[in-house]
Chain A
Amino acid sequence: MTPELKGFLLLSVIKMVIVFTIIMVGVALLTLMERKVSAWMQNRHGPNRVGWAGLLQPAADGVKNILKEETFPAQANRWLFTVAPALSFIPALLLSAVIPFAAPLPVDFDFTLGPLGRFVHHGPMPMVVADLPVGFLFVIAISSLGVYGIALAGWSSNSKYALLGGLRASAQMISYEVAMGMSLIPVLLLSGSVSFSTIVAQQQAGLWYVMPLFLSFFIFTIAGFAETNRLPFDLPEAESELITGYHTEYSAMKFSFFFIAEYANVVTVCAMIATLFFGGWDIPFTDWDRSGGVLPTLATWLVFFLKVLFWVFVVMWIRWTLPRFRYDQLMALGWKVLMPIALAYIMVMCVAIYVVERVLGITSPVLASLALFALNVGLGILVFGLLDSGVFIRGSGYRQQERLKERGARTARAAVAG
């Protein structure tokens, strides 16, 4: 092993430990935040007894969940039943490895550590656990794996409710995966890269992608809600109709693993929104954040954290505002609305980017982004106008209404003929 490789490994291990710790502690605190936000929205205080302002509540919950009895349903497939929580938990955590969370930090060291030999590192260290050149594709690939945990949990419990929950989860996730992937293609078109670091750099040069690619952002956010099984798309859990669906039969720590997975997924989706559409760790209106050094790294980390936190809050805000979709509405929204919009948007953006860059010959990224932004304002008004007028989405009762109207017309014709 060369000293450079050893230095790289050392740094990677340190980053892994830090990111893992932050994600796990953050997820624990998110459970508290969820309860706090829900309480505030209902004019309550929320948990405030354990520790200052209830900050130790997650610890108390964790201790409780570890000490509780683990139950296995008699007819459950025991092996899969045990593995399923881990299967939903691991992909959720894996995703946090490829999201860049701060500006690169210049790290220089050259030292010898006893029998381990020399460790060398020079130059800027990307603040991401694994700076994959295909980080984007990695996220798309791994985020779909989470459905295995949920589907297997539902199946192996050998319970009707759990099975229905698992089925719903797989149907929902597969449906929204399509719209999600499609909605991100304009991002790739505009940035010309599948590496998160490049996408962030492109947004720093131009505008944040939420402006030139607003509809992408809109579709991605909705699909992200569905991917994380959060309200208004929490059909797999649906406590009122499926008694919490796939984790009906789970208890103790295995139960809370599903929650850790859910919140880790929320964090990942919010980090994706922040990275892809809100400039990642970029601090707007300044180039200081790219100057390198400890202070810019810390500042950009804080900014990224705030961006993610804001989106996590929005996720919770929506959860405690909207009721659950009915199943057919959910499928209709995914297949009949989001996917066609995403497909049409890809085509429009293809043409628009070609026109802006080749025909009009605008080379300045800011001007190009502004031109696309103008286009997006128009498209946004069009799409929201159509969505709002009820042209796209109708209650399934609408079809019955149509049929009744038809029958009425037929009887009227028959009366005239008779």
Chain B
Amino acid sequence: MAIGVKVMKRPEKQVSYVRATLKGMVLTFKHMLEKKVTMQYPEQKSTDREHGLGTYSLSPRWRGTHRMLTDEQGRSKCVACGLCPQICPANCIKLVPGEDEQGHRYPLIYEIDEFRCIFCGYCQEVCPEEAIHVGTHFENSEYSRGRFVYDLERLSSQTHAVSTLWDPADPKGE
């Protein structure tokens, strides 16, 4: 042999072609009869409650695009405290605070640049009013780059479920 081939020390019974071939063919045929595992994406989504493929559910801890929660009057819960732009490691939250006659603070401008966001979820963790949340959502395509800067109205009008962040005190989410 010109080329040194690594010699596996197998008993000759093990290198038999016929039995191995038949065994393999039985295996592949069994697979033909098994349940299909592919998720048919546009019809079935991993965010669906019932998609029939239980194991592919999106994790409740999935950190997707943001959502601003609102109170009963439809105003955002944000009190413009400024903690989220402070903690944001990607510096993607723009907040201009305002104050009404009763002294209630509210955001005049609240914008999140989803391109700069690294989806760490710190904003949700730090928010004292539980106003800003990251969501369990993954279909984010847009026709222009400008649409990826989500303003307050956009953040408040999104309806997808919000993420339940990982709690160090309860690591398994129980």
Taking Cβ atoms with an 8 Å cutoff, the residues of A that contact B are 37, 40-45, 317-318, 320-322, 384, 387-390, 393-401, 404
Is the Cβ of B36 less than 8 Å from the Cβ of A43?
A: yes
Is the Cβ of A44 less than 8 Å from the Cβ of B38?
A: yes
**Residues from chain A with Cβ under 8 Å of B8 in the complex:** 395, 397
Q: Which of A40, A396, A398, A401 is in CB contact (< 8 Å) with B31? A: A40
Q: B12: CB under 8 A from chain A?
A: yes
Taking Cβ atoms with an 8 Å cutoff, the residues of B that contact A are 1, 4-8, 12-13, 15-19, 21, 24-25, 27-29, 31-32, 34-38, 40
**Residues from chain A with Cβ under 8 Å of B5 in the complex:** 395-397, 400
Q: Which of B16, B19, B25 is in CB contact (< 8 Å) with A321? A: B25
* Distance (whole angstroms) from the CB of A141 to the closest CB of chain B: 31
Given contacts A37-B32, A320-B28, 19 further A-B contacts (CB under 8 A): A40-B31, A40-B36, A41-B29, A42-B31, A45-B40, A317-B25, A317-B29, A387-B16, A387-B17, A388-B16, A389-B16, A390-B16, A393-B17, A395-B15, A397-B7, A397-B8, A400-B4, A400-B7, A404-B7
Which of B1, B17, B18 gathers the greatest number of chain A CB atoms within 10 Å? Answer: B17
Is the Cβ of A390 less than 8 Å from the Cβ of B36?
A: no
Is the Cβ of B35 less than 8 Å from the Cβ of A43?
A: yes
**Residues from chain A with Cβ under 8 Å of B40 in the complex:** 45
Complex Cα gap A395–B16 (Å):
11
Complex Cα gap A321–B17 (Å):
13
Q: Which of B19, B31, B32 is in CB contact (< 8 Å) with A388? A: B19
* Distance (whole angstroms) from the CB of B124 to the closest CB of chain A: 37
Majority DSSP secondary structure for residues of B touching A: loop
* Distance (whole angstroms) from the CB of A36 to the closest CB of chain B: 10
Complex Cα gap A322–B27 (Å):
11
List 11 interface pairs A-B (beta carbons < 8 Å), by A numbering. Answer: A37-B32, A41-B29, A41-B32, A44-B38, A45-B38, A388-B17, A390-B15, A395-B15, A398-B7, A400-B1, A404-B7
* Distance (whole angstroms) from the CB of B86 to the closest CB of chain A: 48
Nearest residue in B to A41 (C-beta to C-beta)? B28
Complex Cα gap A45–B15 (Å):
33
**Residues from chain B with Cβ under 8 Å of A321 in the complex:** 21, 24-25, 27-28
Q: Which of A44, A389, A397, A404 is in CB contact (< 8 Å) with B37? A: A44
Question: A41 and B12 in contact (CB under 8 A), knowing A397-B5, A401-B7?
Answer: no
Nearest residue in A to B12 (C-beta to C-beta)? A390
Is the Cβ of B28 less than 8 Å from the Cβ of A389?
A: no
* Distance (whole angstroms) from the CB of B64 to the closest CB of chain A: 26
Sorted nearest first, the 5 A-B pairs with minimum C-beta distance are A390-B12, A397-B7, A388-B16, A40-B32, A388-B18
Complex Cα gap A377–B19 (Å):
18
